[in-house]
Amino acid sequence: MLTSGHRLLEMALLLVRRNDIRNFAIVAHIDHGKTTLVDAMLGQSGIFRENEARVERVLDSDAQERERGITILAKNTAVSYRGVKLNVLDTPGHADFGGEVERVLTLADGVILLVDAAEGPLPQTRFVLSKAFEAGLRPIVVINKIDRPDARPDEVLDEVYDLFIDLGADEDALDFPVIYAIGREGIARRALDDVSTTLEPLFETILERIPAPDDRTPEPLQVLIANTEYDDYVGRIAIGRIVAGEISRNQSITVLGAEGSRRSGRVMRLYTFDGLKRKEVDKASSGDIIALAGIEAVEIGDTIADRESTEPLPRIEVDPPTIQMTFMVNDSPFSGREGKFVTSRQIRERLLKAGRQNVSLRIADGITPDQFEVRGRGELQLAVLVEQMRREGFEMALSRPEVVVKEIDGRPHEPLEEVTIDIPDDYIGVVTEKLAGRKGQMFKMDHVGSRVRLHFRVPSRGLIGFRTEFLTDTRGTGVLTTLFGGWAPHAGPVARRPTGALVSDRAGRATPYALFNLQPRGRLFIPPGTEVYEGMVVGEHARDNDLDVNVCREKKLTNIRAAGKDENTILTPPRVMSLEQAIEFIDDDELLEVTPGAIRVRKKIRAANMRPKRTTRDLDVEGQD
């Protein structure tokens, strides 16, 4: 029986907090300035020397992140302000990488919600805020880019209030602090007419409103693993937060894995975060975000404890995937020429590794031993995985993306997307017409300055292959963003690629003469001198049927002088597709061949005399009997 003294001690332990730490995530829609704000926080915290060279978006260290200009992987850093350690968690803003946001929020005690002062709340703003509310985190709202010529901070603040109310926020949540910022210049203000020229108001608000973590050091050890990395020197590194207890270097621990599995291990290296670097320490305690080395068999979502009797923490759960693609061994005539890793075993091991590192990916074996089903949140997420694999030397073939169909109450349901489109007035007609053919339904239209914001509900199936077409129709001025909107009954036929393909009917090397004579037939994908094989798609036909063509034909030469003059062979530059554009382009009877040096579209059945003739491409009858 507990005495009153024991109860008082328990109450005291519950009230003790670690006031020397704040753990928070920065969340926002894509391009609203999260990573740029982190740059300014790092700069003003004094971690850089005065003469040290700095790069923009320093946390976007991955090659693809710097090339694409987006954050793909969530990362953490730490800065100090008035003796308090601020663990900052930077998250992606693209909907396809929402799993990273859900994973990182398990490490945080609060969030900074960043909103563009001109664009206002967008679909991913709603997503990240809803996930913060589900995790019980209270936000600080930062209205960023107030120096934009089209900034409308007061209206945006009203839209943020409407979003909070729409998500069911209570009175405490509606009492959020507001900071106005110019992240690029490192300026934060509590009011628009303030004269602050630093981020001090933001730092002060973080100390005031982000709760300090509970100090549960006397309790048994519990560490929730939220990320894993690999280091060439120390091996596998697990990153997580100490929920309770304390951990030391060389300590024996137990890894509590999925399905009740338990494994023993030892902490060989222990790190905390200091600026952009890891700092090796001997001991860390409740509330710290740490990195552990020496434990090879650890996965995201595992709990690390100091005794087997400890109960595991709830595993990290994320929303289910909505898009799937089939990865398979490349069996084209050019297979093995460029790639180092080409076998099904190598591809399978790499995909399983990706599934362990990314909680929103699902990997499963396919129909045959050389096929693998990969499910994710969207085409961009899968394209990033494919691009990473080809840079590592992998060679593979990919099928057309398909939606994940789910059976609810005995009926097939498909994922639905809430699409927000920001365009000039002139393109409302063409965009509405195109989305209507893809079963899109408009439910809201807003005028924002000189532009119009359209809101649609569209089956995910209808958006496959639409983005490139959308950019063409809007002359590159349109902005399209999506958010998973739940499951809906199958919507029926959806418009697909309206054009056929120009398919090479033989192996050889493309000649200028042959390509020149094929230009009236459609848009070519290859320049002269490209090596081709039978079944390789060399262009987009102007009509809706496939056309087998000879791109290797040479001009017959004679020793008789012609009476007229030969035509100059003038070729239009070929259409060079990026990986995402090629994934959008391929049809059901086609594959995408991806190697370290090339991206080729091909037919599944390469032989022209065995390939079924496709003459109608305007409807997608997937799921229809």
Model pLDDT, residue 56: 59
**Secondary structure class of 576 (helix, strand, coil):** coil
What pLDDT was estimated at residue 623?
Answer: 42
What confidence category does residue 7 fall into, taking pLDDT thresholds of 50, 70 and 90? very low
| pLDDT bracket for residue 559 (50, 70, 90) | low
Residue with tokens 């022209």: 608
Pick 409-489's CATH classification: 3.30.70.240, 3.40.50.2300, 3.40.50.620, 3.90.550.10. 3.30.70.240
pLDDT at 464 over 80: yes
Q: Which amino acid belongs to residue 133?
A: F
Give yes or no for a contact between 81 and 199, defined as CB atoms under 8 angstroms apart: no
- The class that CATH gives domain 18-209 is alpha beta
pLDDT of 37 higher than 50: yes
Whether the Cβ atoms of residue 424 and residue 479 lie closer than 8 Å to each other: no
Q: With 60 as the cut, is the pLDDT of residue 16 above it?
A: yes
Taking the domains of the chain in order of start, what are their residue ranges?
A: 18-209, 222-305, 323-403, 409-489, 501-620
> Which two three-digit tokens encode residue 609?
């005399």
Report the chain's mean pLDDT, rounded to a whole number: 85
Tens of pLDDT, residue by residue over 474-496, are: 888 888 888 888 888 888 888 77
Q: What is the pLDDT of residues 250-300, one digit of tens each?
A: 888 888 888 778 888 889 999 998 877 888 899 999 989 999 988 877 888
Fold of 323-403: Alpha-Beta Plaits (3.30.70)
Tokens 């900074």 map to which residue?
112
- 222-305 CATH, one of 2.60.200.20, 3.40.109.10, 2.40.30.10, 1.10.3720.10: 2.40.30.10
Which range in 4-13, 468-477, 614-623 is most confidently predicted, on average pLDDT? 468-477
- For residues 250 and 596, give the distance between their C-alpha atoms in angstroms, rounded to a whole number: 42
Residue type, 547: L
The pair phi, psi for residue 209, each rounded to 5°, is -110, -20
Q: How far apart are CA 265 and CA 362, in angstroms?
A: 27
Give the three-class secondary structure for 218. coil
Euclidean distance between CA atoms 88 and 71, whole angstroms: 15
Q: Which CATH number fits domain 501-620: 2.170.190.11, 2.40.50.250, 2.160.20.70, 2.102.10.10?
A: 2.40.50.250
Structure token digits, residue 360: 């929103």
Which pair of structure tokens corresponds to residue 205? 């608000």
**What percent of the residues of the chain are helix, what percent strand, and what percent coil, each to the nearest 5?**
25, 30, 45
- In this prediction, residue 615 has a pLDDT band, given cuts at 50, 70 and 90, of low
Over residues 507-552, the pLDDT tens digits come to 999 999 999 999 999 999 999 999 999 999 999 999 888 999 999 9
Output DSSP code: residue 427.
G
In order of 416, 506, 512, 599, the CA distances from 527 in angstroms are 39, 17, 8, 14
Amino acid in the structure at residue 256: L
In DSSP terms, 85 is beta-bridged to 21, 80
SS3 104: helix
pTM for this predicted structure = 0.83
Same fold, 323-403 and 409-489: yes
Identify the three-state secondary structure at position 591.
Answer: strand
The pair of three-digit structure tokens given for residue 142, joined into one six-digit string: 């930062």
Q: What average pLDDT does the segment 152-175 reach?
A: 88
- On the question of pLDDT at 463 being above 70, the answer is yes
